[in-house]
Chain A
Amino acid sequence: MDLQEIIGFAWKNISHRKTRSFLTVLGIVIGIASIVILVALAQGLDKDIRASLNKLGSNFVLVLPGQASITSSTSFVPILRGILTDKDVNVVSRVPGVDSVSGSLSYPLAGIRFKKYNATATISGVNADTYDKFITAGYEGGKFFEKGDKSSVVIGYTIANDYFDEKIQVGNQLYINGRPFRVSGIIKQVGQGVGNIDKLIAIDQDAARDLFPGVLAKDRVSAILALTNPDMDSAAIGQEIKEKLANKRKVKLDNLDFTIITAASIQEQVGEITGILTLFLGAVAAISLVVGSIGIANSMFTSVLERTRDIGILKSVGAPNSAVMLLFLAESVMLSVIGGAVGIALGAVVCALISAVGNISTVVSPELIGGSFIVAILVGGASGYFPARQASKLPAVVALRRE
């Protein structure tokens, strides 16, 4: 018996018992489709987050005081322990590959007023030169103020459009802690990410210190932003900054009192979270597939039972055990392959529907399609193995005698 014959034989058996084969395949279809859909949803989330991160570019290193993580904030008002000073800014500026540095001051509870509307917001005191280069998203209108301009402010998209009952335009006055600032630029929408650019209210560093004496003490900064040479690896520069700062601040590398954030480290953290999500959703969906594979095994055992006589005849005309085994394995793999293919197609269609109707990103990657297909084949092989072995081990005489 050659392979083609075996496949032909298996196909005949499958189509012979239409209802049973249909239901068995249906189980696999549902299992594979739910894996595709849930994993595609998790990957879609991953894609969305990465897309908004990419708007920030990658040639920067951010230093925050304390031990910060994008997942650690559960508080009303961010709690960052520890301080950075101008001395640290100097250390960072001397690291090779760092093009420009800005120590930034921030105060999360600043009172701001636009026309008659009062609000509370985080204001940042920055080095205009460095920040201007950091804003890669571009401007809705206007531009960054000149360095040393102590009466202008640059704001993010959310502040301009959603923060007050009226929209803010370039040229408007914004009062911070009672002092008027002219809006010199409005940054284009960035989405969630480092520093929350959409909610940025940036003024000159010295102006910020004047506004909040005591809190924004002299020579103290809330964060350090370093722009790195685009031709160099910012992660490596981040590592260098980490070592130099640890040395300067006399802390151990495994117990830092500051946090280095680079595009790579954020991507890594995001990847970790969405990776866990993907794994969890995939695992839960895989349970359906396990149940589906039990269905294949069941249907194959029934098939072996029904064809005991055929097996006897095959064996008595000289078919070796391996051929019988192959025959049934081919049948179960065929069931799961059909189920897998239909399941992937169904899953992809549902994903497209979810994206179109629900406006939720889904990503059906080639890896996902290939992976689910391989899983489907494996499931067919595994669940068909025991029934096939049972069939192949039947002695010809016993099988023939059976009714």
Chain B
Amino acid sequence: MDIAEIINFSLKNVLHRKLRSFLTILGIVVGIATIVILLSLSLGIEASIVDSVQSLGSNYVMVLPTTSLQSGTFNKVLYTKDADALRRLPGVDAVAGEILVSNAPIQFRRKITAGNVAGSEIDVYVKYTNASGVTFRDGGYFRSGDKSSIVIGSKVADEYFDDKVYVGNSILINNRSFRVSGIFNKSSGAISDLDDTILMEATALRELFPSAVPKDQVFDIFITVSPKADPEAVAKDVTTTLARRRKVDPDKPDFTVMTAASTLEQIRQVTGILSVFLGFVALIALVVGAIGISNAMFTSVMERTKDIGIMKAVGAPNNQILQMFLIESVLVSGIGGLIGIIIGSAISLLVSALVTKTVLNAEVLVGAMSVSLFFGAVSGYFPAKQASKLPAVVALRRD
């Protein structure tokens, strides 16, 4: 018996018990489709976050006052001198210490509300936003050193007050009037606070709230990197320089240095855990499906005990019997895997079109197919082994 004959034989057996094969395959289809759908969902989540991070550009380094971003609190302190120490580092284009006053009273016409007001060195901020593709819906930045103008986000302009704010209008912040020189376009990024921005020169903000921002301190430090320099190398320099200045272990700094790449890395870690978890849960369904294959194969071996006896009597070796049943189970799982991938992909495309972004890539599809073939082989092995070990005389005698 050559391999073509064996496959032919297996196929015949699969087709012979139509209903049983259908149900066995269905189990695999459901398992594989679940894996494909859940993994493509989790990849979709990752992709949409990555997109929003990448829209921020990559030639920047940020220093935040926290030991870990996951903690969600910014409880450490960065100093103006920290920012100054970074200006001379190779690859650094410009450095800005940003300050922030939260919950500041703001007023437009008769409506009084509160907002977070940021202060930055505007020429550095301009470089950053230009590089990251932030665009204005109207107007633009005020000139560097202009202490009576502000730039605002789209939400501030549209939603904060009773009336919409336009370029040229004046907003009162702590009872002092500031002219709106520009309004940003709505941000596409999910993690950016751009839409809630109220931005002025840092020196103006310090004068406005002399007691709210501790002297010599900044909230975060923003660094733009020269086009030719590698942001990762600059980030490393920044870490060692700041650690030395602040007398902390550079491996356990009391600040966080962020680059586009490190942000992406962190996102991938989280979504990676999600993928593994969802994949694992979906795998359980596949395991149950594989048990179904095993079951069908044991039944198949039992029903064909007599056939096995005849084959052995005419000289078929054990490994050929093994092969025959193994191929049958792999065939079942292969068909199930293929249909599962098709159905899973279809559903995932549907979800992508109607509900939320999903991503199908070759790894997921090939991985799902391999997993299904592997499960087919494993679940078919024991029934096949049992069949191949049957002594010919015993098998023939059986009814």
Query: Interface residues, chain A, CB within 8 Å of chain B?
Result: 19-20, 23-24, 26-27, 30-31, 34, 38, 65, 74-83, 106-109, 111, 118-121, 163, 177-178, 199, 211-215, 217, 220, 222, 281, 284-285, 287-292, 294-295, 297-299, 301-302
Contact = CB atoms under 8 A, between A and B. Distances in A.
Contact of B285 (A26, A81, A287): A287
B77 A213 contact: no
Contacts of B75: 119-121, 163
Nearest to A30: B288
Contacts of A31: 284, 288
B289 A291 contact: yes
A19 B295 CA distance: 8
Nearest to B19: A301
Nearest to B220: A76
Given A81-B115, A284-B281, A291-B289, A298 B23 contact: yes
A291 B209 contact: no
Interface stretch (B140-148, B188-196, B306-314, B388-396): B188-196
Nearest to A25: B291
A220 B105 contact: yes
B182 interface: no
Nearest to A281: B281
A27 B115 contact: no
B211 interface: yes
Given A20-B299, A290-B30, A292-B288, A111 B101 contact: no
Given A214-B209, A302-B20, A177 B214 contact: yes
21 contacts: A23-B295, A76-B74, A81-B115, A109-B100, A109-B101, A118-B217, A163-B75, A199-B73, A212-B212, A214-B211, A217-B105, A220-B105, A284-B38, A285-B281, A290-B285, A291-B285, A291-B288, A291-B289, A294-B26, A299-B295, A301-B23
Contacts of A301: 19-20, 23
Residue among B65, B219, B289 with the most chain A CB within 10 A?
A: B289
A134 to B, nearest CB: 21
B104 interface: yes
A121 B214 CA distance: 12
B208 interface: yes
B8 to A, nearest CB: 24
Nearest to A286: B285
B60 interface: no
B266 interface: no
B27 interface: yes
Contacts of B350: none
A120 B74 contact: yes
Contacts of B100: 77, 109
A294 B289 CA distance: 9
A19 B298 contact: yes
Contacts of A222: 103
